[in-house]
Amino acid sequence: MKKLVESSGVEVAFKEVDVVTTGTFGAMCSSGAIINIGHSDPPIKIEKAWINDVPICHPGAAVDLYIGATATSETQSFEYGGGHVIEDLVSGKEVELRATAYGTDCYPRTRIKTNLTKDDLNQFYLLNFRNCYQRYACAVNSRDETIYTYMGKLLPRFRNATFSGAGELNPLMNDPDYETIGVGTRIFLGGAQGYVIGEGTQHDPQNLNGTLMVRGNAKKMSPEFLHGATFTRYGTTMYVGIGIPIPILNEGLAKKTAIRDEEIFTNIIDYGVPRRDRPKLGKISYKELKSGAITIDGKKVRVSSLSSLKTAKKIAGTLKSWIEEGMFYLTTPVERLPLDSVFKLMRQTEETSFIANVVHAAVTCKENEPIQAIAERIVKQSVNHIVVIDDAGKLSGIVTSWDITRAMAEGRKALADVVTRRVITAKIDEPLETASKRMAQHNISALPVINSERKVLGIVTSEDVAKILGR
Amino acid sequence: MVRILLRFSENIVEQPITAEIILALKVPINIIAAHVNSKGGEVLAEVPDAALEKVVTAYREKGATVSLPKLIEVDSEKCFSCGACVALCPVEAITLADDNSIVFNKEKCIGSTCGACVEACPARAIKSVKQGNSELANDLNPKK
Ligand code: SF4
Ligand code: SF4
């Protein structure tokens, strides 16, 4: 379609093409499966359940369970989770169910352990409440350390970038006004046929961040299009394959489905900043993202995809052949999806603490001051940390009372001998929580607070943190 | 050429061992990757097949540990071609083909001295594996 519109124009394309198939295959955390495991004898009303040591939700009656993709194993932690359980079941593997209950007159049993395959389940439906994101951000990291996120491993100081999404192949990008995709639309889901059952959570079509809620019979699905996955130090998730046919009902749809990667832009976002509003560093097209390298601040940064374009293409191709062979029939939606819903921010009734709430003036010294003078200052001000600054007030090191004690014991005179140069710092708008984590990680008890020019604004200590966070 | 992994302890890391061996044996030794600090070092080197035994013995005599490097293997059954590993590889040993599948170039990979791609793979399709039980591997076991 895209090529046809380019070469022959919208009118010709509209006449010639009946359906455009689309596809996407990526990590979709808000996914899971509902299962019904049947009644045991004596029966049990499950209170807590695990499959292969992954905790499973029990949102309903006695033996209905929901396997959430991001639930992680209690024994293997991030290496195995709900997504892997679903993949194992889909592949026909046997899984181990353990459950406990409080026992009632009608459900007397209090514990059970049994092995199950998908054939033993009454129902096994994929039920994903947010899938198929229309587009997603491109992630980078400004920090001095590698961070591990749901956007993968991000190297320090913008040394790599990651992105997600199929761009021009994404279903929602090809029908951005939801003319054909609505409640009841039959789709390709995980290798089988499924349905759109509504808009996904956080659906935000006006900002081109639409999402879908979908359902499909997992017993018929294939592990090729449904894959448990692990993001190191982040957690588990599931890769889900979705394909949607878009009937070309009018010239407008012919034009919309001709969208190209160079017309689809997304934001480059700094995941190094641990806040909800992470800084946007610019816009970038999917064409550039797919090229393997982007430019940030004039520097070339290598970028890789987290979702699979190869599988996305395969899904669109499979769907096409299903339609051609009469194995898949298109449906008309029974209800349109909302076009005006907005993604609201959380109402927070309890205050969150940031560094700005606890920062206080740092006791400082200059590089050339004698140890004796610094020791006196430590005693007089009764502090444990002295921040070393240069004439411009910029951070050049830190010394603790312990460093000074040792220096005096060893008869050293120069500050340079005892100062720590690689100082771990905090930023003024950073949440207290992350600063506290950093202190614990490096086993230190204070962080100088600096601005982007490395000017010292103050200091926070573990005591300040303990007062607020109570730890 | 054969790749070998050399480990130098804190005591010997400051000595110019590789230079001495090159001069003494007159064989070219190519350093592929090196992580060295005052606490010790790990070096991935390439030596000609014919000179392997001589070189290994020479390093051992000078107190270095010699082993075969662990290399990376990509399990094509598990890999779903997302590409997350591609941009992380410092030597471009992993690239994307035109059909968006990944191509792994074993020759370029510096193996366990790097390992950057292993933990980045969401499908856990990349493993760091010991090189096979070839005679070479046995030859390299420390003889006591
Ligand atoms: S181990 Fe390092 S060099 Fe080898 S493929 Fe992985 S990232 Fe590249
Ligand atoms: S990160 Fe893993 S799954 Fe993705 S392309 Fe590389 S090897 Fe394949």
All domains of chain A, ordered by start, with CATH? Answer: 1-343 (no CATH), 355-470 (3.10.580.10)
For B72-94, what is the mean pLDDT? 91
Q: Do B37 and B92 belong to one domain? A: no
Q: What was the pLDDT predicted at A349? A: 81
Q: Does B123 sit within 8 Å of A304, measured CB to CB?
A: no
Which helix (H) or strand (E) element contains residue B57? helix B52-61
Domain extent at residue B76:
71-129
Interface predicted TM-score of the whole assembly (ipTM), two decimals: 0.79
Question: Which residues' Cβ are closer than 6 Å to ligand 2?
Answer: B 74, 79-85, 102, 121, 123, 125-126
pLDDT at B143 over 60: no
pLDDT digits (tens, 9 = 90+) for B10-59: 888 888 888 889 998 888 998 888 888 878 888 888 888 888 888 988 99
For a ligand 2 pocket test, name from B102, B106, B127 the mutation site with the most ligand atoms within 8 angstroms of its C-beta: B102
The whole-number pLDDT of residue B138 equals 45
Q: Which atom of ligand 2 is nearest to the CA of B126?
A: 7
pLDDT score of A471: 57
Q: What pLDDT does residue B144 have?
A: 36
State the pLDDT at residue B13: 84
Instruction: Note the pLDDT of residue B134.
Output: 46
* Residue B136 placed within a domain: no
CA angle, residues A187, A189, A190, in degrees to nearest 5: 160
- Domain count across chain B: 2
> What does DSSP say about strands A192-199 and A186-189: parallel, antiparallel, or unpaired?
antiparallel
On whether both B7 and B62 belong to a single domain, the answer is: yes
Specify whether B59 is located in the same domain as B95: no
Residue B125 has pLDDT above 60, yes or no: yes
| CATH number assigned to the domain comprising residue B91 | 3.30.70.20
List, for chain A, all residue ranges whose pLDDT scores fall below the cut of 50.
none
Query: How many A from CA of A230 to the centre of ligand 2?
Result: 11
* Amino acid A277: pLDDT: 86
Q: Which among B26, B42, B67 is the end of a domain? A: B67
Q: Are A239 and A27 in contact (CB under 8 A)?
A: yes
Helices B17-25, B52-61: crossing angle, 10 deg rounding:
140
Q: Do A230 and B124 touch (CB under 8 A)?
A: yes
**Overall pTM surpassing 0.95 (yes/no):** no
* Residue B133 confidence (pLDDT) above 50: no
Establish whether residue B115 lines the binding site of ligand 1, counting it when its CB lies within 6 angstroms of any ligand atom: yes
CA B55 to chain centre: 16
pLDDT of residue A347: 86
Instruction: Among B20, B43, B67, identify where a domain stops.
Output: B67
B33 is a domain residue: yes
Interface size A-B, in CB pairs within 8 Å, comes to: 70
CA distance, residue A162 to nearest chain B CA (Å): 7
Residue among B80, B85, B87 whose CB faces A308 most closely: B80
Q: Based on the domain organization, do B21 and B75 belong to the same domain?
A: no
